[in-house]
Amino acid sequence: MANKERDSFGSRFGVLVALAGSAIGLGNLWRFPYLVGNNGGAAFIIMYVIFVIFLCLPIMVSEFVIGRRTQANVFGGIRRIAPKSAWPIIGILSVAAVIFIMAFYFVVGGWTIEYILKSFSASFLASDNTALASFFGEFISSPVAPAIMMLVFLGLTALIVVAGIKDGIEKYSKIMMPGLFLLIIILCVRSLTLPGASEGVKFLFSPDFSKLRPDSILAALGQAFFSLSLGMGCMITYGSYIAKKENLIHMSFITAGADTLFAILAGIAIMPAVFAFGMPPAQGPGLVFIILPQIFAQMPLGNIFSIAFFVILFVAAITSAISMLEVVVAYFMEELKMSRRTAVIVTCVIVAILGSLSSLSQGTLKDYTLFGKSIFDIFDYTTSNIMLPVGGLFIVLFVGWKMKRSDVLDELTSGGTIPFKRNILDVTMFCIKFLAPVAISFVLLNSIGLIKFF
Among 19, 23, 55, 333, binds ligand TRP (CB under 6 A): 23
**What's the min distance (Å) between Cβ of 29 and ligand TRP?**
8
Residue 132 makes contact with ligand TRP by CB under 6 A: no
Alpha helices in 247-374, H assignment, sequence order: 248-276, 284-286, 292-298, 302-335, 340-360
Q: Give the C-alpha separation, 75 to 77, whole Å.
A: 5
CA angle (319 as vertex; 226, 26 as ends), nearest 5: 40
Q: By C-beta, is 258 or 324 nearer to ligand TRP?
A: 324
Choose the binding region for ligand TRP from 170-178, 222-230, 282-290, 409-417 (rule: CB under 6 A): 222-230
Of 70, 12, 394, the closest CA to residue 236 belongs to 70
Residue 22 makes contact with ligand TRP by CB under 6 A: yes
- What dihedral angle (degrees, nearest 10) is formed by the CA atoms of 426, 435, 77, 97? -160
Exposed/middle/buried for 419, CB within 10 Å: 0-12, 13-18, 19+?
A: exposed
Q: By C-beta, is 311 or 388 nearer to ligand TRP?
A: 388
Q: By C-beta, is 95 or 292 nearer to ligand TRP?
A: 95
Of 2, 5, 1, 12, the closest CA to residue 244 belongs to 12
Residue 62 makes contact with ligand TRP by CB under 6 A: no
Residue 55 makes contact with ligand TRP by CB under 6 A: no
Q: By C-beta, is 106 or 124 nearer to ligand TRP?
A: 106
Residue 306 makes contact with ligand TRP by CB under 6 A: no
Q: By C-beta, is 101 or 273 nearer to ligand TRP?
A: 101
Q: By C-beta, is 216 or 384 nearer to ligand TRP?
A: 384
**Partner residues linked to 373 by β-bridges:** 370
Residue 25 makes contact with ligand TRP by CB under 6 A: yes
Q: By C-beta, is 67 or 302 nearer to ligand TRP?
A: 67
**What's the min distance (Å) between Cβ of 427 and ligand TRP?**
25
Choose the binding region for ligand TRP from 38-46, 228-236, 284-292, 392-400 (rule: CB under 6 A): 228-236
Residue 324 makes contact with ligand TRP by CB under 6 A: yes
Residue 232 makes contact with ligand TRP by CB under 6 A: yes
Q: Which of residues 348-407 bind ligand TRP (CB under 6 A)?
A: 388
**How does DSSP assign 132-167, residue by residue?**
HHHHHHHHHHSSSHHHHHHHHHHHHHHHHHHT-III
**What's the min distance (Å) between Cβ of 388 and ligand TRP?**
6
Q: By C-beta, is 150 or 197 nearer to ligand TRP?
A: 150
Residue 234 makes contact with ligand TRP by CB under 6 A: yes
On whether the CB atoms of residues 3 and 76 are closer than 8 A, the answer is no
Q: Give the C-alpha separation, 415 to 246, whole Å.
A: 11
Other Cβ atoms within 10 Å of 13 Cβ, number = 14
- Residue 367's contacts (CB-CB under 8 Å, 6 or more residues apart) are none
Residue 26 makes contact with ligand TRP by CB under 6 A: yes
Choose the binding region for ligand TRP from 161-169, 225-233, 338-346, 357-365 (rule: CB under 6 A): 225-233
Q: By C-beta, is 35 or 197 nearer to ligand TRP?
A: 35
On whether the CB atoms of residues 78 and 90 are closer than 8 A, the answer is yes
Q: By C-beta, is 88 or 391 nearer to ligand TRP?
A: 391
Residue 330 makes contact with ligand TRP by CB under 6 A: no
Residue 227 makes contact with ligand TRP by CB under 6 A: yes
On whether the CB atoms of residues 22 and 31 are closer than 8 A, the answer is no
Among 119, 191, 229, 358, binds ligand TRP (CB under 6 A): 229
On whether the CB atoms of residues 53 and 36 are closer than 8 A, the answer is no
- Residue 218's contacts (CB-CB under 8 Å, 6 or more residues apart) are 443, 446, 447
Residue 226 makes contact with ligand TRP by CB under 6 A: yes
Residue 94 makes contact with ligand TRP by CB under 6 A: no
Question: From residue 113, how far is each of 12, 276, 291, 325 by CA, in Å?
Answer: 31, 27, 17, 19
Among 112, 255, 323, 359, binds ligand TRP (CB under 6 A): 323
- Residue 272's contacts (CB-CB under 8 Å, 6 or more residues apart) are 191, 192, 194, 197, 198, 199, 200, 201
Binding site for ligand TRP (CB under 6 A): 22-23, 25-28, 101, 226-227, 229, 231-232, 234, 320, 323-324, 388
